[in-house]
Chain A
Amino acid sequence: MIMAQTQTQTTAPTAPVFELIEVEQVFPVPRPGRPFMSRDTVGLRALDGVRLRIAQGASLALVGESGSGKSTLLRVLLGLDAPSGGRALYRGKPIREARAFGTGFARDVAMVYQDARGSLDPRMTVGALVAEPLRHFGIVPKGEEAARVAQLLDRVGLPADAATRYPSGLSGGQIRRVAIARALASEPSVLVADEAVSGLDVSTQAQLLTLLRGLQRDMGLTLVFITHDLGVASYLCEEIAIMYLGRIVETGPTDAVLSHPAHPYAAALRAAAPRFFEPIPEPLPGEIPSPLDLPKGCRFSSRCTAAQEDCRLRDPQLGQHGAGRAVACLHPLTETGAQASEIR
């Protein structure tokens, strides 16, 4: 029955590249304070009811604090982990199946790791690293390999002689470029980048962002960009998804979400970004709660400045909120409310 359903979705003209339906990921972890030698475990809900659609050609920024489940979501998207609940689909097919079936998925979905240096074999030259996907997927005949490597290195703005060097001899910015060139070598239609520009100085960041935006425009890439920098998100991505404690709390067009956030958490994130000539704004009160011990009702209620009585009783799901936007909040901020919270 499920097969039939997926079949129809495949043929549908608007089948999104990725679709996550109520995806859950629960890790069994030792119960805190369990007696010695006891095997008592408790489920850690790293992802809890995630709904997300990524259309062909879209660019999506996934934003959230550390521990909000971004990396777990990424592993589900890439098919490295099977979700423990819900369905994760790639062009209408379960991602794990798509990955297990041939090299098509691996070729179509490329990944740029946060730790670009760690993702490159230190004993291979840059040329060999970039040539590996070319050879593995049989993209160019052997004779044209060197030329294609040079072309890819040029595309990401590296000098041609970089091909003979080892990763240890390259700077942080160059390493990211190598990682991007390697990702592009398989001619993917989807590029997933995990914090691809974090930890670099601002000018290098700007160069890389310009490069990524150019690549996305020219090659029609679908871009999933994980970041914690709202500025990067708004520059690079048309859509944004904000995560809090394993759930996407607000999605929509980046400009609209950032200028008029509907979820109090989105508003707080927006307000917390440092700005020129202004004092650092008040941070959110309290700590992010442990995913082992989620607050009752809305998971943000313990830190929310606009929490009301029913927020502590009912858990809001991600629901439609205006054109192309969705928010998981019982009392979404109106525009004046958003303004008010920003002033505060």
Chain B
Amino acid sequence: MSVQTQEAPVAAPIRKSRRSIFLRRPFFTIALVVALGYVLGALFAPYVAPYDPVAQDINAMMKPPSLAHLLGTDSYGQDILSRVIYGARYALIIGIFSVLIGAAGGLVIGLAAGLSGGWLEWALMRLIDSILALPSLILAVAFIAILGQGVDKVVIAVGLSMIGPFSRTVRADVMQVRVQLFVEAATLMSIPYLKVIWRHILPNVIFPLAVQVTIRISEAILVSSSLSFLGIGVTPPTPDWGLMIAEGRAFVSFAAWMSAMPGFALALLLIALSIVGDGIREEFDPKLRRGA
């Protein structure tokens, strides 16, 4: 580990000598711009969207993309571009908040499982295993069946279904950190165990977790869209991408834009978020960087 043995160059300014991350990773930069575009569009949807997303217009039903309706209209004459822009709001809200729920639950369960031993760890791990045994979509469907429909319910259902994978990664990190020498050194100083957890174990676990969060937002968005596509997520007038794809499905042979546009918006956001998440992980994960 101690590669640099000489004393001379006091903390070589590694950061400065390396080129900016935006230049080194062009795909990351593009993806970041796209993702930020979605976020801005979602934030300022009322100013960006040309029409009211739920305003129906009988004169403009199922119009193909034109200058008046850039992405066309759907079977109720609602402007698809406006609906896609407002849909980004729901996608991002559901994605971010459900991942936060999943990460918080995963952190608690993972910490408890990683730090405790014996039957408690066994019970927690079996709980995690049982959550992991089902794909998150199936699990989310089950939670929706219990909770009912609506945006808030979708957030909770998707969040709960993501606790499993989060707690497993947290536990793995905890098991790795708790045997490190600096934890023993803190114990040697007779620092109480809870304080050691708070001060030394938690910060070393939180960071990889934050990276996981950025990666899993796209998964949460996908699951929530799948729920709406199946018709059990958010309720119809809401401009949600999954819902829009489902609505256009019947007309796909002669009005393909109705499903394709929200589908394209969804795919683009997911790809952008994945690239951003991977870039962040590769850039800041000490495990991947240590070899360099």
Contact = CB atoms under 8 A, between A and B. Distances in A.
Interface of A: 78, 80, 99, 102-103, 105-107, 111, 113, 115, 117-123, 132-133, 136, 159, 162, 165, 168-175, 186, 199-201, 204, 207
Contact of A123 (B7, B11, B207): B207
A248 to B, nearest CB: 23
Q: Please report whether the interface of chain A is mostly helix, strand, loop or mixed according to DSSP.
A: loop
B180 interface: yes
Given A115-B181, A118-B181, A80 B191 contact: no
Contacts of B6: 171, 173, 201, 204
A201 B186 CA distance: 28
B5 A201 contact: yes
Nearest to A120: B182
A173 B190 CA distance: 27
Interface string B190-222: 110000000110011001000000000000000
A320 to B, nearest CB: 34
B188 interface: yes
B146 interface: no
Interface residues of B, number: 28
A173 B11 CA distance: 12
A118 B182 contact: yes
9 contacts: A80-B187, A117-B1, A119-B181, A119-B182, A120-B185, A121-B182, A162-B10, A172-B4, A174-B7
B14 interface: yes
Interface of B: 1-2, 4-7, 9-12, 14, 180-182, 184-191, 199-200, 203-204, 207, 286
A121 B181 CA distance: 9
Nearest to B180: A118
B177 to A, nearest CB: 10
Contacts of B11: 165, 169-170
A99 B4 contact: no
A64 B184 CA distance: 24
Contacts of B1: 115, 117-118
B191 A136 contact: yes
Contact of B181 (A78, A113, A132, A169): A113
A172 B4 CA distance: 6
A198 to B, nearest CB: 11
B190 A117 contact: no
Nearest to B207: A123
Contacts of A186: 189
B7 A136 contact: no
